[in-house]
Chains A and B, each alone.
Chain A
Amino acid sequence: MKIVEDTAPVLTALDRPNSYIGRSVPRPNLARLTQGRAQYVSDVVLPRMAYVAFVRSPHAHAKIVSIDAAAAQQAPGVVAVVTGAELARIITPWVGVLTHLKGIKSAPQHAIAVDRACWVGEAVCAVIARTRAEAEDGCELVHVEYEELPAVTDPETALDASTPVIHPTLGDNLTFERSLSAGDPEKGFAEADATIETTFVFGRHTGVTNEPRAVVADWNPGEQRMTVYQGTQAPHMMQNLFAKHLGLAEHQVRVVTKDVGGSFGIKVHTYADEMATVALSKLLRRPIKFVADRIESFVTDIHARDHRVKARIGVKNDGTITAFEIDDLTGIGPYSVYPRTSGIEANQIVNLVGSPYTCMNYKARTRVVFQNKNVMCQYRAVGHPIAVAVTEGLVELAAAKIGMDPLELRRRNLFPDDSYPAQTAAGLKLEKLSHHEALAHLDAMVNYAGLRAEQERLRKQGIYRGLGFASFIEVTNPSAAFYGVGGAKISAQDGATVKLDAQGMISIHSGVTEQGQGAEAVLAQCVATSFGVPIERIRVVTGDTDNTPYGGGTWASRAAGIGGEAAWQAGKALRQNVLTVAGSILQAKPETLDIRNGLVVDQDGGNERISLEEVARIAYFRPDTLPSGIRAEFVATRHYVPRAWPFSFTNGIQASYLEVDTDSGFVKLLKHWCVEDCGTIINPQLVDEQVRGGVVQGIGAALFEQCVYDQRGQLLNGNMADYLVPMAVEMPDIEVGHVVSPTADSELGAKGAGEAGTAGAPGSVMNAINDALRPLGAASLTDMPFTPDKILRALGKV
């Protein structure tokens, strides 16, 4: 029995008498999900609603010569057939660039391709019909004549003079480039006793949310208002973009996000087909629904990673790391994705390589190039899995080369726990991390010495087990430094409004969104604690631009740390407002009173004075009995944005223990551990489950997941039978441990926890495989995913 009952702690970190901070209270809305009573966008049905399906380009790069829609227009149930040129009169194109990514460039992207398709899967025509099936039937009757153009599909040659330029107006296929040199890398490498140089490759993969992307757009010409039901992570960002490109004011657009069937960064971007659906609703003056099918998801949901990193580390015989160097290359799609751009992952890699370590000699270059493949953008843990695997791969290769224990080499180079505030070679500002405490904790959790002994013993029996580690830092709680400074209307702040109703119940309206991670539970815990009511009295509203304060939504592990703090502060403000009225009723000074467990009590002694219901009754129904100067303000709103630090970095370390079958090349994962430090832990169970889910996503990248393209830009495995995702039987149990270093930037002290698992898992699995095979003299495996054929090749067996 692993289910632990939540019990109230005696005293909590935040020291409120009825605190919920640090408790594993269940999420408030789970019964709806377990009973099949959720409402995902794919479940939404509106009166007069029609369905859109898209004709999509079968070519990676082709001129659209003509579109013959006559037969489709006559097909049963078809309402309309709309081409890109027709839709362009309703919705303007966009360009995915940000000013703080110096030099980044992209071309205008249309909701539906006009004249030219630039990747396999780009929509070239829309068919709208009474049912999805009829819309798909209609698509089959649309005849598109294409003239195939040469496709750019190899990042290594994308910048060669002989390679065609995808967007001639841009001059070349270079999207973005960044170079960095810190300290004295040349001197660092000159001082090294050993230098290890290798190339790491990271497969292009995607999010595979269980619910595909879905949107229902409802333009009401009578109200001149657009309501969009969308499974998105950022409703206010989408409100801004729909308004901007449809020529509407933001107050004419309402975005409603109900239950979302998985996001992971997939659902925080602008998708051409979703923009088209919204424009089609305006054009056709009725609700239009689009739900991607799985095949469409594979060719249109953003892809991620797909990096080739040449990397080098210098190390002295005493274990001191003397320098890091990387040369990164990534091939994105034909457009930089709007509005977050497709340059951020590469930028993050430059920022994050070497970041756990004190070594200040660092040289980096990254180049992002266009290709005729599906677009790439930010997916869970953006850049981290790559930067961590490169850094930690180099560290363990260096340890092997100089014959030092890999944990000992880390101990000699990690930022000391008492060295903060500190700054990394790339210039990241670190408030307070705990690498050494986390490593010590992990060492004990895994029984390091015991596992090494077991490994040694089994090797003698021909069983090859490996243990690999990955230390990491994670970007969370981003300030405006992430997107706002670059000109994107993506809010870094978030707000919460809390209300006391006439029966003494509390509602919270928050700008962050629930994607299943438990944001609504965290918000309820924060307000229950700071205001002072049992959590059952709280109702949380998220995901509605008409009914929540303006906010950024859920991404970059910000919901708890930023949205939670805003809710915490709003709860405190409402408590003061209520105590002012209660004091007036009780003829007591408000500062002598408190609200605990739903009752107004004496600050000293805790004696009950009056119930919240009674305060609410008097304030709402008999305000005539209150003194004339007293107004009951039973709604409070607070906003929060981190100000002292651009990002709240967290840290941690993971370990993977696995066995490699040297005959078949299969990897069996035996156990995985993660120790992380996300500051104040508001809900331990939710943090652990974020870590576990994230770890498995990272394992998928390490062992299974890859979007395989051929040279002509065709995706060869765009379905769930051929694109492998982690299923239960291959996954290990995952133990999670914690170190707690709160941020002083907020009262709660909470940092993010959503991406730590994904950040560290691929690197630790890679290191474990190499650790397992090292005694066999196998070549180091650095090309993810580590499929059986690659392992057998490394062993020289095929």
Chain B
Amino acid sequence: MSERVCDIALTVNGESVVETIEARQSLVDFLREKLSLTGSHVGCEHGVCGACTVRVEGVTVRGCLMLAAQCDGAKVDTIEGVSDSGEIADLQQAFEKRNALQCGFCTPGMLLTAQELLSSGAIPSREKIREHISGNYCRCTGYHAIVDAIEAVAQARAGSAR
């Protein structure tokens, strides 16, 4: 049975984690079930909806398409981590003020994807924003408010950087 389980050591939201896991367990199931980090959501389990988006080594990934076993030694950030660190506080505030979320199920993934886009420091066009978030499914908003919120933060960050 040894090939069915494996030990992994990784850093999740800055905390060291050592766990024995089933080799077949996806990263998002590991985060939700083993670590009780339920802010990453399971929407489609086949890599289309983006609700499970998390960051591994600074890059956004689909938590449902990556195995937890592949994260041995990696640095993983989830919505809980970037919320507590304050890294995306301005994006969160803009989403709240602009009502860029309704049910909120896509929001953690959407925020991490938006943060990835804005990390370059440039002010993306609305088309560029739409393109970048087009792997994150939102059934509620119709996307317009999300684009508004991301655009506003891009402008605000560029303004304060000057």
Contact = CB atoms under 8 A, between A and B. Distances in A.
Interface of A: 1-3, 26-27, 30-40, 42-43, 45, 131, 133, 207-212, 259-264, 291, 293-294, 515-518, 685-686, 689, 692-697, 719-721, 725-731, 733-734, 757
Interface string B37-58: 1111111111011010000000
Contact of B144 (A3, A692, A725, A729): A692
Nearest to A30: B96
B137 A516 contact: no
Contacts of B141: 689, 692-693, 696
Contact of A692 (B44, B46, B145): B145
A34 B95 contact: yes
B98 interface: yes
B162 interface: no
A691 B5 CA distance: 49
18 contacts: A31-B92, A34-B96, A34-B104, A34-B108, A34-B111, A35-B79, A36-B37, A210-B41, A515-B103, A516-B102, A517-B102, A692-B142, A696-B141, A696-B143, A720-B49, A729-B130, A731-B142, A734-B142
Contact of A516 (B104, B111, B129, B151): B104
Contacts of A720: 44, 46, 48-49, 137
A27 B95 CA distance: 11
Given A2-B152, A721-B48, 10 more contacts: A2-B148, A3-B152, A36-B38, A36-B80, A211-B103, A261-B41, A696-B141, A719-B48, A727-B143, A734-B142
Contact of B95 (A30, A37, A293, A517): A30
B134 A727 contact: yes
A397 B101 CA distance: 38
A36 B83 CA distance: 8
Nearest to A736: B144
A210 B83 contact: no
Q: Top 5 nearest A-B pairs by Cβ distance?
A: A36-B39, A33-B104, A516-B103, A261-B105, A516-B102
A259 B101 CA distance: 13
B22 to A, nearest CB: 7
Contacts of B38: 36, 39-40, 43
Contact of A3 (B33, B40, B98, B129): B98
B99 A725 contact: no
A695 B155 CA distance: 27
Nearest to A37: B39
B140 A262 contact: yes
Interface of B: 22, 24-25, 32-33, 36-46, 48-49, 51, 78-80, 83, 92, 94-99, 101-108, 111, 126-127, 129-131, 133-149, 151-152, 155-156
Contacts of B126: 733
Contact of B104 (A42, A261, A695, A733): A261
Contacts of A695: 142
A676 to B, nearest CB: 14
A693 B102 contact: yes
A685 B80 CA distance: 28
A45 B25 CA distance: 18
Contacts of A212: 43
B102 A260 contact: no
Contacts of A131: 33
Given A1-B152, A261-B105, A686 B39 contact: no
Contact of A727 (B101, B105, B137, B147): B137
B43 A210 contact: yes
A728 B143 contact: yes
Nearest to B145: A689
Contact of B139 (A33, A207, A685): A207
B88 to A, nearest CB: 9
A35 B94 CA distance: 13
B132 to A, nearest CB: 8
Nearest to B108: A36
Given A133-B24, A516-B102, A518-B102, A210 B139 contact: yes
A483 to B, nearest CB: 24
A55 B127 CA distance: 44
Contact of A685 (B25, B45, B99, B105): B99
B155 A1 contact: yes
Contact of A42 (B42, B94, B144): B42
B105 A3 contact: no
Contacts of A38: 39, 104
Contact of A40 (B22, B25, B105, B155): B105
Contacts of A689: 99, 102, 141-142, 145
Given A34-B101, A36-B108, A731 B40 contact: no
A54 B145 CA distance: 38
Contacts of A725: 137, 139
Contacts of A294: 43-46
Nearest to A721: B48
A40 B32 CA distance: 12
Contacts of B49: 210, 720
B51 A210 contact: yes
B39 A31 contact: no
Contact of A210 (B40, B92, B96, B103): B103
Contacts of A31: 92, 96
Contacts of A40: 38, 41, 105
Contacts of B83: 34-37
Given A1-B155, A40-B41, A693-B102, A34 B92 contact: yes
A729 B131 contact: yes
A1 B156 CA distance: 8
A726 B49 CA distance: 11
B82 to A, nearest CB: 9
Nearest to A731: B143
B108 to A, nearest CB: 5
Contacts of B152: 1-3
A685 B102 CA distance: 12
Nearest to B140: A693
A57 B19 CA distance: 37
A259 B44 contact: no
Contacts of A696: 141-143
B78 A516 contact: no
Contacts of A685: 98-99
Nearest to A40: B105
B48 A208 contact: no
A40 B104 CA distance: 10
Contact of B103 (A2, A37, A261): A261
A34 B138 CA distance: 14
A726 B121 CA distance: 28
A573 B31 CA distance: 48
A293 B45 contact: yes
A523 to B, nearest CB: 16
A721 B137 contact: no
Contacts of A133: 22, 24-25
Contacts of A291: 42
Contacts of A211: 41, 43, 51, 103, 105
A291 B42 CA distance: 10
Most buried by B among A685, A720, A721: A720
A685 B100 CA distance: 10
B98 to A, nearest CB: 5
Contacts of B142: 689, 692-697, 726, 731, 734, 757
A214 to B, nearest CB: 10
Nearest to B133: A728
Most buried by B among A40, A259, A516: A516
A731 B104 contact: no
A210 B45 CA distance: 11
